[in-house]
Amino acid sequence: MTPADPRRRRMLGMGAGLTLAGLPMAAIAQSSPRATDRAMLSAAAFGARGDGTTDDTAALQAALDRTFAPGGPGFLVIPPGTYRVTRTLRVATARGEKGNIGYRHGILAHGARLASAISDGSNVLEFISHSTVRFLLIEGLDITGNGREGHGILLECEHKEHYLYNFCLRDVVVQGCGGDGCRMMGNVFEGQVINTYLRDNRKNGMTLGHGARAGILSAIHVFGCVFGQNGQYGVAMVNGCYDAAFHGCYFLLNGKHGLAALNGCTLLSNCGFENNHEAAADFDKGGPGIWLQGFGTLIGCTAYSMFKQKRLIDAYVVGQFVMIGCAGSGDARAKGAGLARLDGEKKARATVIAPSGTIEYVKDFDAVEISAHDGGGVRFGAHWQSRNLAQLGAYRLWIDAKGRLRLKNGAPTSDEDGRAIGA
């Protein structure tokens, strides 16, 4: 786990009242309006037609340039329609303080679809911050790819001293892209993704990560989103990032895992994982809805499979793992699907409360189970070296290699330590 950069935290709030410098635009000859004069612009005023056949790339780029110019209106409205684009639409701030923005800005596009005709692997829409940017909103936009472009939406700030934060993606659809549906990298944090649908993209529905060069991604909250039928993962958390939370989201029919959290995941609550691992040959070659390594908390999450998904989660626990009220089951070819397969380091701690579904422990790893799946009650570790031994005051209880219950005042130092009690 990587701690948040304290210098980044000290910068919070410093962008208020500053301006954003967009890409240069020769057509802007007049002076930019004052912040108090900001108003919404329409892409139609720049010649965007939205008829599905006209190449609207130049018109949309001009509208973006004008909207995000220094002191510009800040909001662009894209009217309902289908807008054919043949190259990346890009907003990039000027470097340093002159590119800062601290007022609300963004794209409002309910009913508008960007139909990608990009064929060189370039992304469809990019927002690249080289400064400190707050309050970006992208709402209502629909992006449809053709499989030959890159990512649908890229939010990036790969800098140590600049940030993209307090942002929101809401009511967005990205489908059919050749890369990820949405990709966030670097100093991108304190953001929300709400009611967004990322499906049928060739790579991942969404990728979250610390920057490859610089920047710490953190405090991302995802609400009520669907990650479905993507070629690889529903969501991949990479480059050491972990501070993301998913609430009421659904992960289904992805080629591999619904979620791959390679350094842990802060929270998953009321999320569902259904029939992932579509790329596997069969159930025996399939896997879990979640692959988690490090630490995590799951509350009220469920897994269901009829095909190749084996269980809710496989976890290798390094820190602390908590699972409360989660369930895993299957039917048809996946009748043997269960809840979890848990492994980890000796120093790790795992607690499972009110589970439903089979739990498999690897080697000597174990968890404290409360209202255990195999008969209720409380299940503690049984091996003398377990961190989850039953403890009554200073006394420890365990089962030795001969199947006898043993009691020791203090921590045992061997399997034969203490004394055997009972038959």
CB count in 10 Å sphere of residue 172: 25
Which range among 36-45, 77-86, 376-385, 403-412 shows the weakest confidence by mean pLDDT? 376-385
Same domain flag for 269 and 390: no
pLDDT at residue 244, as a whole number = 98
The runs of H, that is alpha helices, within 34-184 are: 57-67
Residue 27, pLDDT > 60, answer no
Same domain flag for 85 and 64: yes
Structure tokens at 342: 């848990």
Same domain flag for 386 and 369: no
Which range among 9-18, 211-220, 258-267, 288-297 shows the weakest confidence by mean pLDDT? 9-18
User: What 3-state DSSP class applies to 104?
Assistant: coil
Residue 47, pLDDT > 70, answer yes
Span 95-116, average pLDDT: 92
Name the residue among 280, 272, 220, 237 with its Cα closest to residue 251. Answer: 272
Q: What's the domain count of the chain?
A: 3
Distance between CA atoms of 149 and 118, rounded to whole angstroms? Answer: 5
Q: Does residue 319 fall inside a structural domain?
A: yes
Distance between CA atoms of 409 and 100, rounded to whole angstroms? Answer: 63
pLDDT in tens, 324-362: 999 999 999 999 999 999 999 989 999 999 999 999 999
Same domain flag for 132 and 270: no
Distance between CA atoms of 233 and 207, rounded to whole angstroms? Answer: 9
Structure tokens at 255: 């080629």
**Confidence band of 17 (pLDDT split at 50, 70, 90):** very low
Residue 4, pLDDT > 90, answer no
Span 109-129, average pLDDT: 98
CB-based burial label for 385 (10 Å; 0-12, 13-18, 19+): middle
Q: Does residue 231 fall inside a structural domain?
A: no
Structure tokens at 153: 């939406």
Which residues touch 66 (CB under 8 Å, ≥6 apart)?
A: 22, 25, 27, 28, 41, 46, 72, 73
pLDDT in tens, 172-191: 999 999 999 999 999 999 99
pLDDT in tens, 127-146: 999 999 999 999 999 999 99
Residue 12, pLDDT > 70, answer no
**Confidence band of 376 (pLDDT split at 50, 70, 90):** low
Q: Does residue 73 fall inside a structural domain?
A: yes
Residue 410, pLDDT > 90, answer no
Distance between CA atoms of 340 and 58, rounded to whole angstroms? Answer: 51
Q: Does residue 242 fall inside a structural domain?
A: no
3-state helix, strand, coil in the chain (%, to 5): 10, 45, 50
pLDDT at residue 375, as a whole number = 61
Q: Does residue 296 fall inside a structural domain?
A: yes
Same domain flag for 80 and 175: yes
Residue 70, pLDDT > 50, answer yes
pLDDT at residue 393, as a whole number = 78
| Buried-state track 318-357, b at ≥16 Cβ within 10 A, e below 16 | bbebbbbbbbbbbeeebeebbbbbbbbeeebebebbbbeb
pLDDT at residue 330, as a whole number = 97
Mean pLDDT of all residues belonging to the chain: 89
On the CB side of 351, CA atoms within 13 Å amount to: 7
Q: Find the domain containing 328 and state its range.
A: 248-377
Q: Does residue 228 fall inside a structural domain?
A: no
The size of the chain, in residues, is: 423
Q: What are phi and psi of 308, to 5 degrees?
A: -125, -5
Q: Does residue 289 fall inside a structural domain?
A: yes
Distance between CA atoms of 65 and 17, rounded to whole angstroms? Answer: 20
Span 27-31, average pLDDT: 29
Same domain flag for 394 and 330: no
Q: Does residue 14 fall inside a structural domain?
A: yes
Same domain flag for 372 and 406: no
Residues 81 and 49: beta-carbon distance below 8 Å: yes
Same domain flag for 334 and 418: no
Structure tokens at 104: 């609300």
pLDDT in tens, 230-240: 999 999 999 99
Distance between CA atoms of 126 and 67, rounded to whole angstroms? Answer: 15
CB count in 10 Å sphere of residue 133: 30
Same domain flag for 350 and 392: no
User: What 3-state DSSP class applies to 413?
Assistant: coil
Same domain flag for 368 and 384: no
Q: Bridge-partner residues for 409, per DSSP? A: 395
Same domain flag for 399 and 368: no
pLDDT in tens, 310-323: 999 999 999 999 99
Same domain flag for 339 and 199: no
Residue 391, pLDDT > 80, answer no
